Amino acid sequence: MQYTLAILKPDCVERKLTGKIIDFIESHDFEVFRLRKLQLTKKEAQAFYSMHKGRDFYEPLIEFMTSGPCLPIILKKDNAVDAFREVLGATDLNKAADGTIRKLYAETIRRNVVHGSDSDENAKKEIAFFFPTMNILV
C-alpha cells in the first residue's frame, strides 16, 4: 500500500462539495486514512507552496488557499500517487479527462477544488507538513 495527500481546497468547502468529492475518491478504491479540517495561515500557505515563490501565480495562490477552510486528507491505495493523479485530472479543467474530479467540479485553473501530490517524494513531504505526528513511509 502507498499513501498520497489530497487537499480539498477552500472552493470545495465553500461550494459544499466535500462529501461528494470524498465519496468520489472512495468510489475509486481509495481509503481515507486520515483527514482534518483547518484554515491555513498566510505563513503556512507560503511554507507549503514555497517552491512556487516568484512565479506569477504564487501570491494569488496564497490568497486563495488562505481564503477559507480546507481538508488535507491522507489517501491509501496501491500506487496511490499515480492513481490519484489520474482520478484528479489535469490542473486546467479544459485539459482534464472526462469523469475526473476537476472536469466534473473545477470552475477555473485556480479554483480547481482539489490538490494532489505529484510524486512519492512530495507526498511524503506534504503528509508530514499537514500530519506532523504521523510516521508514514510513502
Residue type, 32: V
The predicted-structure confidence for 1-54, as pLDDT tens digits, reads as follows 899 999 999 999 999 999 999 999 999 999 999 999 999 999 999 999 999 999
The predicted-structure confidence for 43-89, as pLDDT tens digits, reads as follows 999 999 999 999 999 999 999 999 999 999 999 999 999 999 999 99
Angle between helices 80-88 and 18-26 (to 10 degrees): 130
Pick the range with the lowest mean pLDDT from 6-15, 58-67, 114-123, 129-138.
129-138
Please state the separation of Cα 89 from the chain's center in Å. 12
Q: Which residues contact 129 (CB under 8 A, 6 or more apart)?
A: 47, 48
Active site residue 28: no
Architecture of the structural domain at 2-130? 2-Layer Sandwich (3.30)
What span, in angstroms and rounded, lies between the C-alpha atoms of 69 and 2? 26
CA dihedral 107, 65, 85, 100 (to 10 degrees): -20
pTM for this entry: 0.94
| In the chain, domain spans | 2-130
For residue 138, name the pLDDT band (cuts at 50, 70, 90): very low
φ, ψ of residue 2 to 5 degrees: the values are -130, 160
Residue-level pLDDT at 136: 58
Active-site residue among 9, 102, 115, 124? 115
